[in-house]
Amino acid sequence: MTLPPVIAIDGPTASGKGTVASLVAEKLGFHYLDSGALYRLVALASQKQAIDPKNALELGVLAKKLVISFKNGQILLNSEDVTEAIRTEVIGLRASTIAVHPEVRRALVGVQQGFRTAPGLVADGRDMASVIFPDAVLKVFLTATAEARAERRYKQLIAKGISAKLSDLLQDLQERDARDSSRGAAPLLVADGAQVLETSELSVDQAVKTVLDWYQSKIS
């Protein structure tokens, strides 16, 4: 039995991979997995339950118990709409800290692979191509300079009416990059066979078109 095709898009924080992946999925009529949201959900749930982000065993148990669903653009945690709640900087930083634990990553492997259903899936994250879907039809490593990513994040926050300081965002991104790249469990890296897409000077439409062109060349 042939499994549905997967396009795996990895990359650092605020590289634009989520925007690009969701648009590629929309264009192809594929399902979309924002794997980073899963770690943010664990972060939010652990915060609510006052679990120490360093307690790997307890976090792993928690991750297995969560009831998660993505419906009509909303992210539900145990039937509660947490779409906005998981996007705060505080939860993002907590998620990055929690994601270093092998116990949490192992607990979420099956959850992520469960999103692979017909007609296909576009998955974005840190280890989609290297660990979760190593047989992906197309592997993309989407990146941009830390400065470009910090500026994008700054504009996103300001547009939402959230105050932010560009220098603080840049420092946070650099610290997250270091943490994600150096962790022992599934570090952020360019997977074997992945095509690198540098988006510092590209528009979203240009990045989406590039990924779609690469996919068409893979299946033609």
pLDDT tens sequence across 57-72: 999 999 999 988 887 7
Structure tokens at 217: 């060349």
So what's the pLDDT on residue 147?
94
pLDDT digits (tens, 9 = 90+) for 197-218: 999 999 999 999 999 999 999 9
* Burial class of 74 by CB neighbour count within 10 A (0 to 12, 13 to 18, 19+): exposed
Supply the mean pLDDT for the chain: 92
So what's the pLDDT on residue 118?
96
So what's the pLDDT on residue 107?
94
So what's the pLDDT on residue 48?
95
Name residue, tokens 């039809």: 137
pLDDT digits (tens, 9 = 90+) for 126-157: 899 999 999 999 999 999 999 999 999 899 88
Task: Spell out the domains of the chain, with CATH numbers in brackets.
Answer: 6-219 (3.40.50.300)
Whole-number Å distance between alpha carbons of 41 and 50: 14
Answer whether residue 86 shows pLDDT above 90.
yes
Name residue, tokens 């705060």: 88
Mean of the pLDDT values across residues 30-40? 93
pTM: 0.86
Mean of the pLDDT values across residues 169-186? 83
100 or 138, greater pLDDT: 138
